[in-house]
């Protein structure tokens, strides 16, 4: 009990939300641009991306071999401070001043784009185009340097004057290599977020491209020894630490199948090296220090979310310490408030989590990032409402997100209908489910495919068998949210699953009785394998969350024994094996735990395959370390 109180105290330190009522906070002092500046830079997100993609390469050569002006990086650091103080428009204006000449400025503009980017495919394409343009700018600098070095061969006096110790590459060249690599890294991260096999493969290939450039600079740095103090600027050095650390960290999180696919290129991720380099970068207090902190927080929070039963004890304290350190300088940053909300949920403080998200939406009002922050926080608040059983509030949040076309409009509409189903309003749920096929785009994401398939299953019986399903609890099971529910709500939800299982059994019995009355009847053989498998996996997940691991064996075995009959919800078999591993792990049966998780990895081409693959990768790696 004492440890719980201590944890809650520490979480309260994470945000300044509880100091007063949310509306009582004074608005932070903001940078106010002049009227000409406003007219010059008043444009929406897509216009900013278009501006970046128009940058010219002609003016890049003049300062290439000269030392980087200190004021340039200081301006970019000032821009990042504005960004972390929620002054997104002011930061964008500052970044754009030199973005046509310096790739770091252009990349900083891209970072601000990504920070306020919505989840739409169009905005993601715009961000990728901007990153590719920045890549071209950096690559042009490198090519121009090669041309310049050829010319200097004909001017011995100039060469002697400009010669560096042991003819190391110029700082501008090293800087351009780092920026080129960072573009590849950011592209890889965007592809990773797509959660698809193609996205993961592209992610791996871009990580390889990034690592190639980072390795070149790192090798030159090691050759220089103490000479690097006179040649390399501190931001280039911090960029190498950030890049190599991030590549190792991201690569270590990729599914095992992807790791095998790219291992032929010599990849061998070292997660601990990634942590060490990112922490060093964060402590340098340079341009990439905030990015290193965000990368660490994103990894900690994501790892815990994927496998809370395994990773919470591993990363929770470290994540809190990292966030507390970051918030000393930027206590009201919406970025850090977002992470605070996620971490408060992971520490089972749902009221604080919701309050952190609400405060983040408030401090972003009237700013460039308002829409993106509001939508992201609304989604997390909807999650909290589901976890606490506030179905009506969750339905309202998902209705808003559907209107905003956030992430997947089809899923948000589906979740809204599922919330009404939990409230017992089946008529409203059916109306919402029936509209989903019209909301899915032409290019279906994994979540869109899943939602459309579930609605098709509901429609096969004319929604008459909807009580054989539990759409919202099924999603919560897949997203591993039962860990955060209260025991009381878990028991209520478990009773709902038991009722659905009893309904299936009753329907099967009625159909069997009909078959006893007639030989070779026209009615098909009862087939509720998919429905029962879904309910049994949900039930097993709930029992694990309640600490009743020994009670799931029969249910898990039923799913495994009947896997050949499960034709649509094939995800249930590997997810059942995941729950079996959690059960074995809680009973300290490590060998059996490893066995069932490795069995789960053998399953493929099912819903959320890659989400489960990351989860299994984290869990199996943790088993090896214990």
CA-wise closest residue to 543 among 483, 472, 623: 483
| Torsion angles phi and psi, residue 614, rounded to 5 | -65, -45
pLDDT at residue number 14 = 42
Per-residue pLDDT for 23 more than 80? no
Reduce the secondary structure of 73-130 to three states and give it as a string.
Answer: HHHHHHHHHHHHCCCHHHHHHHHHCCCCCCHHHHHHHHHHHHHCCCCCHHHHHHHHHH
Distance between alpha carbon 53 and the CA centroid of its chain, in Å?
Answer: 26
CA-wise closest residue to 563 among 549, 575, 573, 553: 573
Q: What value does the mean pLDDT of the chain take? A: 85
| Calpha distance 235→347 (Å, rounded) | 36
Reported as a single tens digit per residue, the pLDDT across 412-442 is: 999 999 999 999 999 999 999 999 999 987 7
pLDDT at residue number 151 = 46
Going by the DSSP 8-state scheme, the letter that residue 436 receives in this structure is G
Per-residue pLDDT for 36 more than 80? no
Give the pLDDT band (50/70/90) at residue 141: confident
| Calpha distance 380→338 (Å, rounded) | 9
pLDDT at residue number 106 = 73
Across 31-44, average pLDDT: 41
354 or 133: which leads in pLDDT? 354
Other beta carbons less than 10 A from residue 288's beta carbon:
28
| Calpha distance 425→410 (Å, rounded) | 20
CA-wise closest residue to 480 among 290, 307, 230: 307
| Calpha distance 227→616 (Å, rounded) | 45
Share of the chain above pLDDT 70, in %: 83
pLDDT at residue number 185 = 95
**Sign of the Cα pseudo-torsion (539, 545, 548, 554, in order):** positive
Phi-psi label, residue 319: left if phi above 0, alpha if psi -120 to 50, beta otherwise: alpha
Reported as a single tens digit per residue, the pLDDT across 277-315 is: 999 999 999 999 999 999 999 999 999 999 999 999 999
Describe the chain by its helix, strand, coil percentages, rounded to 5. 75, 0, 25
Reported as a single tens digit per residue, the pLDDT across 437-482 is: 999 877 888 899 999 999 999 999 999 999 999 999 999 999 999 9
| Torsion angles phi and psi, residue 560, rounded to 5 | -65, -40
Least confident of 67-71, 483-487, 490-494, 520-524: 67-71
pLDDT at residue number 41 = 38
| Rg of the chain over all Cα atoms, to the nearest angstrom | 27
113 or 210: which leads in pLDDT? 210
Reported as a single tens digit per residue, the pLDDT across 96-128 is: 887 776 778 777 777 766 765 666 677 788 888
Across 12-41, average pLDDT: 42
pLDDT at residue number 442 = 79
Across 6-32, average pLDDT: 43
CB 359, CB 373: distance < 8 Å = no
Give the pLDDT band (50/70/90) at residue 550: very high
Reported as a single tens digit per residue, the pLDDT across 146-155 is: 765 554 444 4
Other beta carbons less than 10 A from residue 11's beta carbon:
24
Across 597-611, average pLDDT: 94
| Calpha distance 163→173 (Å, rounded) | 14
Domains and CATH numbers, the chain: 465-511+530-626 (1.25.40.10)
pTM more than 0.75: yes
Phi-psi label, residue 348: left if phi above 0, alpha if psi -120 to 50, beta otherwise: left
Instruction: Give the long-range contacts of residues 312-316, CB within 8 A, separation 24 or more.
Output: 312/346, 314/622, 316/343, 316/346, 316/347
Q: What is the DSSP string of 207-264?
A: HHHHHHHHHHHHHHHHHHGGGHHHHS-HHHHHHHHHHHHHHHHHHHHS-HHHHHHHGG
């Amino acid at each position: 009990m004492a440890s719980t109180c201590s944890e809650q105290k520490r979480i309260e330190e994470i945000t300044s939300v509880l100091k007063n009522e949310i509306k009582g906070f004074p608005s932070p002092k903001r940078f106010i641009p002049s009227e000409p500046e406003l007219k010059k830079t008043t444009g929406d997100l897509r216009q900013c991306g278009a501006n970046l993609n128009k940058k010219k390469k002609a003016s890049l050569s003049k300062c290439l071999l000269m030392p980087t002006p200190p004021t340039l990086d200081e301006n970019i650091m000032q821009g990042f401070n504005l960004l972390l103080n929620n002054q997104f428009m002011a930061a964008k204006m500052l970044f754009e001043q030199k973005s046509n000449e310096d790739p770091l400025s252009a990349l900083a503009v891209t970072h601000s784009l990504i920070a306020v980017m919505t989840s739409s495919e169009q905005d993601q394409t715009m961000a990728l185009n901007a990153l590719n343009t920045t890549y071209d700018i950096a690559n042009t600098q490198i090519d121009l340097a090669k041309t310049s070095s050829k010319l200097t061969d004909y001017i011995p006096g100039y060469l002697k004057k400009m010669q560096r110790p042991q003819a190391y590459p110029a700082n501008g060249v090293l800087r351009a290599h780092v920026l080129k690599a960072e573009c590849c890294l950011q592209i890889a991260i965007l592809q990773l977020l797509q959660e698809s096999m193609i996205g993961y493969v592209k992610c791996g290939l871009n990580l390889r491209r990034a690592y190639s450039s980072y390795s070149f600079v790192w090798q030159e740095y090691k050759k220089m020894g103490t000479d690097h103090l006179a040649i390399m600027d501190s931001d280039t050095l911090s960029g190498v630490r950030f890049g190599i650390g991030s590549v190792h960290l991201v690569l270590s999180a990729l599914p095992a199948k992807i790791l095998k696919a790219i291992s032929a290129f010599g990849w061998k991720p070292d997660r601990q090296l990634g942590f060490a380099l990112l922490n060093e970068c964060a402590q340098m207090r340079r341009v990439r220090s905030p990015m290193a902190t965000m990368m660490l927080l994103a990894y900690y929070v994501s790892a815990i979310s994927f496998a809370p039963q395994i990773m919470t004890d591993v990363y929770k304290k470290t994540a809190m310490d990292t966030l507390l350190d970051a918030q000393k300088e930027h206590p009201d940053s919406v970025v850090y408030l977002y992470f605070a909300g996620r971490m408060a949920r992971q520490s089972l403080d749902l009221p604080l989590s919701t309050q952190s998200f609400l405060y983040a939406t408030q401090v972003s009002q009237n700013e460039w990032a308002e829409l993106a922050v509001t939508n992201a926080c609304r989604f997390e608040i909807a999650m909290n409402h589901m976890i606490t059983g506030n179905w009506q509030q969750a339905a309202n949040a998902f209705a808003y997100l559907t209107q905003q076309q956030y992430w997947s409009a089809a899923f948000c509409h589906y979740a809204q209908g599922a919330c009404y189903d939990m409230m017992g309003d089946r008529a409203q749920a059916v109306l919402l489910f029936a509209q989903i096929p019209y909301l899915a785009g032409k290019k279906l994401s994994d979540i869109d495919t899943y939602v459309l398939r579930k609605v098709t299953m509901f429609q096969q019986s004319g929604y008459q068998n909807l009580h054989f399903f539990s759409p919202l609890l099924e999603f919560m099971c897949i997203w591993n949210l039962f860990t955060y529910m209260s025991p009381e709500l878990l028991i209520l939800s478990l009773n709902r699953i038991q009722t659905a299982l009893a309904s299936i059994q009753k329907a099967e019995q009625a159909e069997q009785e009909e078959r006893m009355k007639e030989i070779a009847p026209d009615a098909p053989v009862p087939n509720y394998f998919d429905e029962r498998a879904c309910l049994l996996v949900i039930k097993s997940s709930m029992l694990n969350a309640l600490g009743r691991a020994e009670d799931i064996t029969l249910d898990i075995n039923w799913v495994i024994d009947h896997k050949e009959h499960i034709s649509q919800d094939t995800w249930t078999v590997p997810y059942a094996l995941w729950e079996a591993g959690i059960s074995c792990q809680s009973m300290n049966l490590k060998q059996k735990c490893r066995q069932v998780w490795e069995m789960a990895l053998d399953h493929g081409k099912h819903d959320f395959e890659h989400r489960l693959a990351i989860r299994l990768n984290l869990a199996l790696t943790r088993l090896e370390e214990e």
